[in-house]
Structure 1
């Protein structure tokens, strides 16, 4: 995000005090021992509440920017990346059988680019763990898919996470609990949808990131995709009962999330405003556009001059 010309007033704090997000980092490659928990500012126990994550005792240092990128902010985005060394071979085609090796190669190149460009954080835009998410906070996929592969120094930055449909086919709360318990301080997912603000360089300009759970916003689409994965044999049939058992949670959160989204966008005074979700609004890929988002979300993005919508889901 380059400074450019501001089209909004310079952002101020959202809770009456500072808004810089600093996340302490302890990377333990082979252990899930819980370190001191993250400190949350705001009502992070409620979906959509402004939630800032701090670690005053051991803040994650800001990445030093390359000289040619003064007063800029660099970040990386990755989606549909949830293949470790073994969990994607369930789908018997060459691309999925080799997907674990491909993901590892991407992690290496991503780390190299992040080091060169001074990446400050990573956006993980869903389908973080194939094919049926994680089951609990001790699920080995946290290590095999993420911690063992993205452990380079340049990847030791905050990872702002949103959930995809495959994450909902498991236990989505486990990814939230993993964040709140502080198993790895980089993993930031205080709830299904949330927002935070980052400084852009040292010139007083700010970027606001708004994370939405698009699976919650389109209940029918997520269930249809799950039935497709069950027919393909890559998700076990019992996942459907588990998914349906959480219907009441998603239904309540859907209407609340849309109200929260409009309120959040309307109140933003940041110079740059980016919304992040798993499903695309428009797409020319295999899945195509998400018509519920075209109807419900696109008007809000346009009304409040959102600079970008970053998504995943549709890939080859």
Structure 2
């Protein structure tokens, strides 16, 4: 068969497929309730760092309530298959989650957690979890270096929230493929859609799979992690944090009293990474934030929270939060703010602040860089640029109708930010260079990225 005839056949098939695809109605998969129930075997295995990631790593997992005693085994990883001979066994703490009367949860499970402490810096460890008979596979992780300027990368994503197993899975897996050496994963809220819903949490853990078990998660709660647990709370217009949140993550307990494991921080080499809960108790957090920033010994400060100071979408302004927290960000020169909530992408920055020294050339210098991103399958339209400029910000790069993940690399005085689409295209990039007096030089790198994506040049989100 001649080449031009082959091309004609392929072209015809392509046209036929395109027409067929446009006429399809999307059908969501259905999951039986048995799918997400706990069993005798460990599942939902997830790592979290402690406050000091060079020596502290925590693991959490789930079983049914028949497993009353559980263990974690850890060893220095080597190329020899019997590395485990030099390991040790730690009895886990076991916590009962009885959510049988919580709408959407309706489950009873045991959550087990173990804290690995006294670890060596910049070292690969292997671990497994189980009850002495039923064990997980061996997983590996690496601790932070004790050399502050050593290069490392981490991943950041906005709202997974909707179509989690269907569509977020490809995004997080592409992120892992792009940055397989990433040291941790920042999740900027709305990990799921309905706070207590067992199926959605099971989708989140299934979508991430072994990634959750090898790359520690650094999650902050979004508004969808809060929901009434029962009719009484609903009638009183009260919302509770997801009943699964605290049992299933083992996070640093260094936040304000009553906000543990939603407001916290860790010091990863020369970066202080902070989680704030933008859903509640804003003034309490403001006082705590001022305290930990005033005593911050680290070169870089990165804060994640859910509701943006500068919105990507129209009608979603968070003025009260911005007026309360942004002056603290400005005062202590927070370098990077990682946000979610708006189901679009926007990246911009603010001026270095009023406390810039006299005689300093502020050209190409920047204050905090703010990013809003979305990783799941639910999309909103972009707002106008005035959403930023009228509030003292400058918007530099946007996207709509696009799933994205971000890779952030820190090495000494340089921080590089890269945003990628779900198929691995470089979508946005910039670099910060730390100079004298903690002022950051801003280097725009988006010239290397693909053209802007918006509703006019992507597959329509709504028919």
TM-score by length of 2: 0.41
Q: Aligned partners of 2:116 and 2:192: how far apart in 1? A: 27
Task: Give, in angstroms, the shift of residue 102 of structure 1.
Answer: 2.2
Helix, strand or coil for the counterpart of 1:314? coil
Partner residue, 2:201: 142
The partner residue of 1:159 within 210, 217, 223 is 217
Distance 1:74 1:154, change over 3 A: farther
Distance 1:192 1:82, change over 3 A: same
Task: Give, in angstroms, the shift of residue 255 of structure 1.
Answer: 2.7
Distance 1:306 1:134, change over 3 A: same
Deviation string 1:228-275 (CA, Å, 9 cap, x unpaired) is xxxxxxxxxxxxxxxxxxxxxxxxx43321111111111111111111
Q: Aligned partners of 2:211 and 2:187: how far apart in 1? A: 18
Task: Give, in angstroms, the shift of residue 111 of structure 1.
Answer: 1.8
Tell whether the 8 Å contact from 1:121 to 1:157 is kept in structure 2 after alignment. Answer: yes
Partner residue, 2:192: 129
Q: Aligned partners of 2:341 and 2:208: how far apart in 1? A: 21
Q: Aligned partners of 1:133 and 1:141: how far apart in 2? A: 9
Say yes or no: does 1:280 pair with 2:350: no
Distance 1:128 1:31, change over 3 A: farther
The partner residue of 2:241 within 172, 181, 194 is 172
Distance 1:254 1:153, change over 3 A: closer
Partner residue, 1:294: 322
Deviation string 1:206-248 (CA, Å, 9 cap, x unpaired) is 11011100111xxxxxxxxxxxxxxxxxxxxxxxxxxxxxxxx
Distance 1:164 1:22, change over 3 A: same
- Count of residue pairs brought into register by the alignment: 213
Task: Give, in angstroms, the shift of residue 27 of structure 1.
Answer: 6.9
Q: Greater helix share, 1 or 2?
A: 1
Say yes or no: does 1:22 pair with 2:50: no
Q: Aligned partners of 1:154 and 1:163: how far apart in 2? A: 17
Task: Give, in angstroms, the shift of residue 167 of structure 1.
Answer: 0.7
CA RMSD of aligned residues (A): 3.5
The partner residue of 2:279 within 215, 218, 224 is 215
Tell whether the 8 Å contact from 2:59 to 2:250 is kept in structure 1 after alignment. Answer: no
Task: Give, in angstroms, the shift of residue 166 of structure 1.
Answer: 0.9
Helix, strand or coil for the counterpart of 2:302? strand
Tell whether the 8 Å contact from 1:282 to 1:289 is kept in structure 2 after alignment. Answer: yes
Alignment of 1:52-67 (within 5 A): 54-56=115-117, 61-62=141-142
Distance 1:105 1:287, change over 3 A: farther
Say yes or no: does 1:259 pair with 2:296: no
Say yes or no: does 1:76 pair with 2:139: no
Please list every run of 5 or more consecutive structure 2 residues that lacks an aligned counterpart in the other structure: 1-49, 72-91, 95-113, 120-125, 128-139, 229-239, 252-258, 344-379, 381-463
Q: Aligned partners of 1:26 and 1:192: how far apart in 2? A: 16
Task: Give, in angstroms, the shift of residue 21 of structure 1.
Answer: 5.5
Task: Give, in angstroms, the shift of residue 159 of structure 1.
Answer: 0.4
Task: Give, in angstroms, the shift of residue 83 of structure 1.
Answer: 2.8
Please list every run of 5 or more consecutive structure 1 residues that lacks an aligned counterpart in the other structure: 1-13, 40-52, 86-99, 182-188, 200-205, 217-252
Task: Give, in angstroms, the shift of residue 26 of structure 1.
Answer: 7.0
Q: Aligned partners of 2:292 and 2:144: how far apart in 1? A: 30
The partner residue of 1:104 within 151, 169, 176 is 169
Helix, strand or coil for the counterpart of 1:123? strand
Task: Give, in angstroms, the shift of residue 72 of structure 1.
Answer: 1.6
TM-score by length of 1: 0.58
Q: Aligned partners of 2:58 and 2:283: how far apart in 1? A: 34
Task: Give, in angstroms, the shift of residue 147 of structure 1.
Answer: 1.6
Tell whether the 8 Å contact from 1:127 to 1:313 is kept in structure 2 after alignment. Answer: yes
Distance 1:153 1:177, change over 3 A: closer
Distance 1:167 1:299, change over 3 A: same
Tell whether the 8 Å contact from 1:207 to 1:271 is kept in structure 2 after alignment. Answer: yes
Distance 1:21 1:105, change over 3 A: same
Tell whether the 8 Å contact from 1:114 to 1:154 is kept in structure 2 after alignment. Answer: no
Distance 1:298 1:158, change over 3 A: same
Task: Give, in angstroms, the shift of residue 128 of structure 1.
Answer: 1.1
